[in-house]
Amino acid sequence: MGSSSGEEGQEEWVPPSRRPELADVAPLPQADGPCPVVSIAYRDDFREVMDYFRALYAAGERSPRALRLTADAIHLNPGNYTVWHFRRVVLEALDADLLLEMHFVDQIAESNPKNYQVWHHKRWLAEKIGPDAANSEHDFTRKILATDAKNYHAWSHRQWVLQALGGWESELQYCNQLLEEDVFNNSAWNQRYLVVTRSPILGGLAAMRDSEVDYTVEAIMVNPQNESPWRYLRGLCKGDNNLLVADDRISDVCLKVLNKDWTCVFALSFLLDLLRMGLQPSDELKGTIEAMENSDPETGHADIATAVCSILQKHDPLRINYWSWYRTTLSS
């Protein structure tokens, strides 16, 4: 285990029972009752630290030694929410250096990147520090996401920091970078949508929609089997079906993909929704669907939407019952 304080450099750890500063503290053992059914075999160092922690906690002591003892307990079990809560109480009572505390919790978070208590403590600290913490928090989440691009805690914290403390200026560029590295990164697509819709400096979805449609269409053409950009494309016109139908680029990308791969479920399902919303199919689109039907005589239908639905039943077998139901809605 590291230093006893957590705020200092590495040093040899001294058990609480051998620390002069704790000589007046009577350890408080865990109360398991007279006949516990299953006694937990705690390590000796863990048991000792927690016995001393319970004593200070029960006494409600807000002191530097209490703060140091919480650091010991956290090193032994970073998920103990009672210890983290008490540490926050002591930090406030001592008017402690929160930047130093952020350094301490960052060290814990790097080795425990999916620990709820650690991220909650970071948010508490960042909120106390204010906008000055924004850049360092973005740097830290970027560091965590570089090793685990889907870390929910890091993404959630990053989004909170953006909305509470700022730092929007380079966030779209960061999303671009992540998607260049991995276009299948659905977390980066989700973050991009947050930036486009919430950033106070980009003008909102209405101002960004045109360029974002171009960006998304290009991403779809790179890999049509990537579901994320198809979902993102829907989101760009969320709540306004007329925008989806009226934008020729959207129906065109469906057609281009199907001309290359007429089994692409994402293009077929998107096209079906467009037809349901009132899209008037072009002659080229009709020809493509007819060619697809001719390759499988069993799917011949006069209505183009019904034909697409039948093709989906064949090429999306996991949802065959859904597409069967969908066909009934077309006739009604």
Three-state DSSP class for residue 41: coil
Contact, 125 vs 94, CB < 8 A? no
Assigned token pair, 149: 């691009």
CA–CA gap between residue 112 and residue 323 (Å, rounded): 44
Instruction: Look up residue 306 and give its amino acid.
Output: T
CA–CA gap between residue 313 and residue 241 (Å, rounded): 24
Instruction: Look up residue 39 and give its amino acid.
Output: S
CA–CA gap between residue 45 and residue 59 (Å, rounded): 22
CA–CA gap between residue 314 and residue 150 (Å, rounded): 33
Q: Please confirm, yes or no, whether 256 is among the known catalytic residues.
A: no
Which DSSP string do the residues of 223-284 spell out, in sequence order?
-TT-HHHHHHHHHHTTT-HHHHHH-HHHHHHHHHHHHH-TT-HHHHHHHHHHHHHT----HH
Q: HSE-up of 329 (CA within 13 Å, CB side)?
A: 12
Contact, 192 vs 232, CB < 8 A? yes
Considering the candidates 114, 150, 286, 314, report the single residue annotated as catalytic: 114
Which residues are known catalytic residues? 114
